[in-house]
């Protein structure tokens, strides 16, 4: 068999995709010839017809053109999935990002006075309005928020933290490490399960710079436990004239206990308890873009703003546009719940999920896959992203069982779909959880199963 030259394949690609200049095809053409050579050596290709060449060229070029960072379908039921990009944004936030991306903006320009302004004003007043904070600042993410706050408030000094709160979040954020790189000295007190107020008090000395409380984002200690409340820590801070900081991690702006979930202190409540500096993420429960939000007493926020590290950790204009639009929705709780996807997904009633499942089961059965069972199963979802670790979201899911294919095999097939469909496995079932599905995801899921049938049962 004659293997076509790179130039011949280039011509073939140029014919298929006339919108590109010929020079664009050099690399994909090399990949096509390499694939043909490989297939020929393995004995998978005996004769290269014109039709087969076009087929392979298309296949290679489409893979070459597919962005590395791409949309996926989240069928895992985990709402704030760090691996899957955390929070999908509200429509309004997307629109504002597009506008600021396309045109120039007043990012650092004061339109009132016609002179240089600062980028933080775009969310500062809004954050104060919805949380009651005296001061507000935003940075790149919550890890930077914690880093810069520690560095500003307690550089070279001891920071007292409960041993039960020395958390690791997703591997790269560990409280002891962040402490070290911010130039502070970690002073851990108490035990894993119990820390008392007197543990903090006994550790205070002339080199103490800060009392820190960290939200146990992704785990819970239950049973014989004791943790010191924000109020108690604030009182202790007052007594010794020490600032108190709380890393809330996710940061609830809405009291979810009203909707039947367990009580988490809201940002407003933590600030009202008198905590001097509070930090949390923009892309966890808040449902906005990646950002770190720092709220608290004006004097501390001003100091943090002036820290030279702030220039290195500064928030980008697209993020600011998305964050401002998301925060505006929080001016009214019903507006937030209706328009912010993460909140909407967390609060989706079980009955609605049941309806989605029944419909999907019906449509999947219609495809007529041999040896497949599709059925609705009662299950539970997770908020994820280090928020509400104990909370199970009551759910219905679609279970897929095949006599011939393992759930792992099905999971892999769906993961390699375009767009990729990310699922979970429960016992022998591949599970499709409707909680985080968008309306446009359903036809893609059906198409993927149809493709499975075509590939493994022949296109009958």
Ligand X SMILES: *Cc1c(COP(=O)(O)O)cnc(C)c1O
Nearest residue relative to ligand X (C-beta):
249
Q: How near is the Cβ of 346 to ligand X at its closest, in Å? A: 16
Closer CB to ligand X, residue 32 or residue 147? Answer: 147
Q: How near is the Cβ of 215 to ligand X at its closest, in Å? A: 4
Helix (H, G, I), strand (E, B) or coil at 383: coil
Closer CB to ligand X, residue 184 or residue 397? Answer: 184
d(C-alpha 344, C-alpha 337), whole Å: 5
Q: How near is the Cβ of 279 to ligand X at its closest, in Å? A: 8
Q: Helices H, strands E: what count in the chain?
A: 18, 17
Closer CB to ligand X, residue 93 or residue 167? Answer: 167
Closer CB to ligand X, residue 77 or residue 249? Answer: 249
Q: Site residues (CB under 6 A) for ligand X?
A: 141-143, 146, 167, 169, 173, 214-215, 217, 247, 249-250, 281, 292, 386
Q: How near is the Cβ of 398 to ligand X at its closest, in Å? A: 30
Point out which residues pair with 207 in neighbouring strands.
Answer: none
Q: How near is the Cβ of 20 to ligand X at its closest, in Å? A: 39
Closer CB to ligand X, residue 217 or residue 266? Answer: 217
Q: Which two tokens stand for residue 305?
A: 């703003």
| Length of the chain measured in residues | 460
Q: Are 295 and 267 in contact (CB under 8 A)?
A: yes
Q: How near is the Cβ of 319 to ligand X at its closest, in Å? A: 12
Q: How near is the Cβ of 294 to ligand X at its closest, in Å? A: 12
Terminal CA-CA length for the chain:
32
d(C-alpha 250, C-alpha 284), whole Å: 5
C-alpha dihedral sign at 454, 353, 380, 267: positive
d(C-alpha 47, C-alpha 69), whole Å: 36
Alpha-carbon dihedral 69, 74, 80, 82, rounded to 10 degrees: -40
Q: How near is the Cβ of 175 to ligand X at its closest, in Å? A: 8
Give yes or no for a cis peptide into 419 (omega within 30° of 0). yes
d(C-alpha 281, C-alpha 381), whole Å: 21
What's the chain's Rg over C-alpha atoms?
27
d(C-alpha 209, C-alpha 212), whole Å: 10
Neighbours of 161 (CB within 10 A): 28
Q: Are 250 and 100 in contact (CB under 8 A)?
A: no
Q: How near is the Cβ of 446 to ligand X at its closest, in Å? A: 34
Closer CB to ligand X, residue 75 or residue 146? Answer: 146
Neighbours of 20 (CB within 10 A): 14
Judged by phi (left if over 0) then psi (alpha if -120 to 50, else beta), residue 86 lies in: left
Neighbours of 304 (CB within 10 A): 23
Closer CB to ligand X, residue 158 or residue 247? Answer: 247
Q: How near is the Cβ of 249 to ligand X at its closest, in Å? A: 2
Closer CB to ligand X, residue 133 or residue 167? Answer: 167
Closer CB to ligand X, residue 247 or residue 444? Answer: 247
Closer CB to ligand X, residue 248 or residue 357? Answer: 248
């Amino acid at each position: 068999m004659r293997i076509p030259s790179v130039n011949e394949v280039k011509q073939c690609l140029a014919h298929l995709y006339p919108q590109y200049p010929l020079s664009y095809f050099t690399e994909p053409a090399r990949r096509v010839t390499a694939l043909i050579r490989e297939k020929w050596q393995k004995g998978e290709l005996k004769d290269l017809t014109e039709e087969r060449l076009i087929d392979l060229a298309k296949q290679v070029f489409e893979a070459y053109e597919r962005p590395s960072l791409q949309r996926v379908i989240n069928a895992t039921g985990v709402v704030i999935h760090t691996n899957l990009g955390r929070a999908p944004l509200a429509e309004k936030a997307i629109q504002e990002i597009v506008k600021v991306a396309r045109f120039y903006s007043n990012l650092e320009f004061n339109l009132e006075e016609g002179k240089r302004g600062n980028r933080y004003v775009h969310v500062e007043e809004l954050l104060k309005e919805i949380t009651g904070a005296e001061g507000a600042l935003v940075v790149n993410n919550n890890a930077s928020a914690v880093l810069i706050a520690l560095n500003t408030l307690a550089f070279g000094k001891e920071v007292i933290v409960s041993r039960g709160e020395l958390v690791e979040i997703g591997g790269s954020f560990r409280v002891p490490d962040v402490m070290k790189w911010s130039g502070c000295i970690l002073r851990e007190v108490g035990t894993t399960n119990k820390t008392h107020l007197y543990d903090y008090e006994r550790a205070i000395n002339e080199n103490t710079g800060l009392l820190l409380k960290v939200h146990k984002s992704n785990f819970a200690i239950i049973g014989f436990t004791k943790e010191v409340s924000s109020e108690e820590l604030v009182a202790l801070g007052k007594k010794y004239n020490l600032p108190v900081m709380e890393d809330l991690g996710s940061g609830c702006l809405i009291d979810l206990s009203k909707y039947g979930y367990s009580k988490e202190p809201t940002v407003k409540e933590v600030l009202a308890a008198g905590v001097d500096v509070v930090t949390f993420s923009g892309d966890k429960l808040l449902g906005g873009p990646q950002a770190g939000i720092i709220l608290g007493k004006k004097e501390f926020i001003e100091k943090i703003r002036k820290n030279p590290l702030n220039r290195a950790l500064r928030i980008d204009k697209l993020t600011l546009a998305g964050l401002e639009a998301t925060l505006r929705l929080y001016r009214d709780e019903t507006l937030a719940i209706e328009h912010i996807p993460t909140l909407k997904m967390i609060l989706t009633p079980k009955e609605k999920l049941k309806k989605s499942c029944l419909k999907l089961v019906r449509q999947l059965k219609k495809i007529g896959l041999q040896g497949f069972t599709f059925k609705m199963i009662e299950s539970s979802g997770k908020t994820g992203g280090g928020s509400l670790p104990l909370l199970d979201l009551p759910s219905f899911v679609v279970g897929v069982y095949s006599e011939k294919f393992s759930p792992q095999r099905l999971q892999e097939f769906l993961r390699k779909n375009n767009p990729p469909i990310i699922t979970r496995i429960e016992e022998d079932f591949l599970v499709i959880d409707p909680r985080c599905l968008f309306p446009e995801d359903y036809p893609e899921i059906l198409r993927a199963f149809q493709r499975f049938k075509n590939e493994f049962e022949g296109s009958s």
